[in-house]
Structure 1
Amino acid sequence: MSAMVMGPAMPNLVLARANVRAAGTRLATVRAPQQPARSAAHLRLTARGRAVLWVLAAAVAAVVTLFASQASADGPVGAQEVERHVVQSGETLWQIAESVAAPSQDVRDVVLDLVRLNELPDAGLMAGQVIVVPVD
């Protein structure tokens, strides 16, 4: 049998060659795998790479500054002025909405606003019911 060399140790390789020569057989040289020249921990940037990173950082900072300067908060919303309205017999929410709607407003939108404002389950009203309507 021939001797087998394992591992990257050089003295073992020399010793194995000597043993094989004495036995009169040939030995194939086994080489250890090459180690990478640099590990990821020792990564270095070139001057060009550093310049590119600085330009990218400046561009990101400029974009963030541009969008941040356009952001603005609205002030507190003023309370809507309302008055109480007692529903008369036969009066509908549509009729009430027509009476308080501005000329350019859609009456359907005013009906929805009245339903939301009074927290009504639907658009049905009962005589004597008190609702609030916005004042013009």
Structure 2
Amino acid sequence: MSLRIRLTWPAGHTTATLDETPTSTALLGALPIVSTARTWGEEVYFDTPVSVPREDGARQVVAPGTVAFWTDGDALALPYGPTPVSRGEECRLASPCNLLGALDGDPRILATVRDGDPIRVELA
């Protein structure tokens, strides 16, 4: 079963399709979430009220547009390009993250998110 969420910020919006995982179930149960976007290289992340353990299969290097959950910071992490710890053009997260799904469409839309923007996550 796949579930869709919508992310909205002042300059744009996108949707994502999530797989059914313990972390995505916890995230969906907390929606809607309004948070403050932070940027780290070509990654957008923001705090959530969700706190879950790292799952089997957590990864640090992911494809652009992956929807990941950073368990070390209780944050949703949305990489769309290299971060300060990347090697070359890879999307390398700060530490292994739970994988929830992927953005629908071009992940480069996240380049319009500015550090400090309000960001809202809700069911699509």
Return the TM-score normalized by structure 1.
Answer: 0.23
Which structure carries more strand by proportion? 2
Task: Find the structure with the greater CA-based Rg.
Answer: 1
Q: Which has the higher contact order (CA 8 A, sep 6+)?
A: 2
Which structure carries more helix by proportion? 1
